[in-house]
Amino acid sequence: MELLLHQIDERKEELVDLAKTLIRYKTPSPPARNTADAQEFIATYLKNLGFTIDKWDVYDGDPNVVGVLAGTNSIEYNSLLINGHIDVASIEEGENWDQDPFTPVVKDNILYGRGAADMKGGLAGALFAIKLLKEAGVDLPGDLTFQSVIGEEVGEAGTLECCKRGYNADFAVVVDTSDCQIQGQGGVITGWITIQSAQTFHDANRRSMIHAGGGLFGASAIEKMTKIIEGLKDLEKHWAVTKSFPGFPAGMTTINPAVIEGGRHAAFIADRCALWITVHFYPNENHEEIAKEIEEHILNVAKADPWLRENLPTFRWGGSSMIEDRGEIFPSLAIDEKHAGLQSLAHVHQSVLHEKATVGMSPTVTDGGWLGEAGIPTVIYGPGKLEHAHAVNEQLSIDQLVQFTKVMTQFIYEWCNTRKVEGSC
């Protein structure tokens, strides 16, 4: 193994070239529907390493790729699932990049390009680790599954589709941006709160609605939405005081009023207003409980207002795509620090990098929650800093990419050469 890890230093340029190749594929989401060529590259890469390939369209132009390398004794030895997403954050007009985002460059030992940190660097490192093991003639006793999924950036949950297809393992590593820390995560759900008036009024009726003696029972849905927003702020403050979870700073359970849409045009009293919110919750909570808690609170707020009491807000939660139906869910991911997979990864990290692994919670979300919800013990562990993800001039330290690849090479070998614990997958 020492000689194998030394090869990564000697073949660093080959590793970086692989990351560059992935970055050159333009897979921003939105607009999405653009990952077919990149996924074909990964499918071919895995097939050449002996993997059996399952490739299917989640959306037109956006296929998932799952490669399975059957172990020599999969009944008795641990299986491993490696997961990552091929889509990257969108590029907005006017962003001041130093170079084309999809033309990767290396300056001062830093790799620049869209997806370098989030998360084509992680994909490249894991793929290269597998290649080294295969070239060394290593036959793993345990099964190895590699998932390259679509849609993570817009909540399209390519990983969920893999879970529905029945893919499983004794342990999973999501090689997403974590600065080579071992992490779990909280969860996120988006929702729409809509106020709809039973009647529609001309703008000339406003005086009759708001002045003494006007006699018209009506209201602007936009103005009434301000009461809903204030109610959400009160609940958010209450959560900050009453909720906590190890590894998170206080107040991570936020409710963000992200988008508001309302009214027809200036000649009408606004008869409809919709608010799009993003809600973060802790690993000991689930999105269904959170949605119910918000609904109960907001309905109580509405019932205290005479007009809202007669025009109660409605709710629509989650969704399978921020593009298709303007909604998403990311389940939370609690981690078990005593799990053999986590302990093995932490041990390898320390032995390879000569520093203790940091185990904690990510302030963002990944597809790891879907794997955890499917019953697969899962952690997030990948190269790159969150401050560089989605950023102009997105970047990744090549030294960290090399370190990550070394850890994954040894971890894949050790975990798939470890006998299963009785009762595991």
DSSP string, 46-63: HHHTT-EEEEEEEETTEE
pLDDT at 69: 98
CA distances from 122 to 107, 138, 240, 243, 384 (A): 19, 22, 33, 33, 8
Q: Classify each residue of 244-276 as buried b or exposed e, where b means 16 or more C-beta atoms within 10 Å of its C-beta.
A: bbebbeeebbebebeeeebeeeeeebbbbbbbb
Tens of each residue's pLDDT in the chain, 425 residues: 999 999 999 999 999 999 999 999 999 999 999 999 999 999 999 999 999 999 999 999 999 999 999 999 999 999 999 999 999 999 999 999 999 999 999 999 999 999 999 999 999 999 999 999 999 999 999 999 999 999 999 999 899 999 999 999 999 999 999 999 999 999 999 999 999 999 999 999 999 998 889 999 999 999 999 999 999 999 999 999 999 999 999 999 999 999 999 999 999 999 999 999 999 999 999 999 999 999 999 999 999 999 999 999 999 999 999 999 999 999 999 999 999 999 999 999 999 999 999 999 999 999 999 999 999 999 999 999 999 999 999 999 999 999 999 999 999 999 999 999 865 55
Q: pLDDT for 358-392, tens place per residue?
A: 999 999 999 999 999 999 999 999 999 999 999 99
- Three-class SS of 354-378: CCCCCEEEECCCCCHHHHHHCCCCE
Contacts 24+ apart (CB under 8 A), 9-12: 9/402, 12/398, 12/402
Q: Please confirm, yes or no, whether 87 is among the known catalytic residues.
A: yes
Tell me the C-alpha distance between 119 and 67, whole Å. Answer: 18
Three-state secondary structure call for residue 98: coil
User: Which 8-state DSSP code applies to residue 176?
Assistant: -
Tell me the C-alpha distance between 144 and 157, whole Å. Answer: 21
Three-state secondary structure call for residue 282: coil
Instruction: Show the DSSP H helices in 323-365 as ranges.
Output: 340-353
**Both ends of the chain: CA-CA distance in Å?**
27
Tell me if the bond preceding 363 is cis, omega within 30° of 0. Answer: no
User: Which 8-state DSSP code applies to residue 170?
Assistant: S
At a CB cut-off of 8 Å and minimum separation 6, what does 398 contact? 12, 16, 106, 109, 110, 111
- Name the β-bridge partners of 202: 268
The residue from 152, 179, 236, 367 that is catalytic is 152
Tell me the C-alpha distance between 26 and 46, whole Å. Answer: 20
DSSP states along 362-422: ESS--THHHHHHTT--EEE--SS-TTTTT-TT-EEEHHHHHHHHHHHHHHHHHHHTSBPPT
Domains in the chain, please, with CATH?
Answer: 2-185+333-416 (3.40.630.10), 187-317 (3.30.70.360)
Contact 283, 361 (CB under 8 A): yes
User: Which pTM does this prediction carry?
Assistant: 0.94
The residue from 62, 87, 153, 156 that is catalytic is 87
Question: What are the DSSP E strand ranges found in 26-143?
Answer: 52-59, 62-69, 80-85, 105-107, 110-112
Q: pLDDT for 143-174, tens place per residue?
A: 999 999 999 999 998 999 999 999 999 999 99
pLDDT at 276: 98
The count of other CB atoms within 10 Å of the CB of residue 364 is: 18
Tell me the C-alpha distance between 335 and 293, whole Å. Answer: 25
Q: Please confirm, yes or no, whether 161 is among the known catalytic residues.
A: no
Tell me the C-alpha distance between 423 and 144, whole Å. Answer: 19
Three-state secondary structure call for residue 77: strand
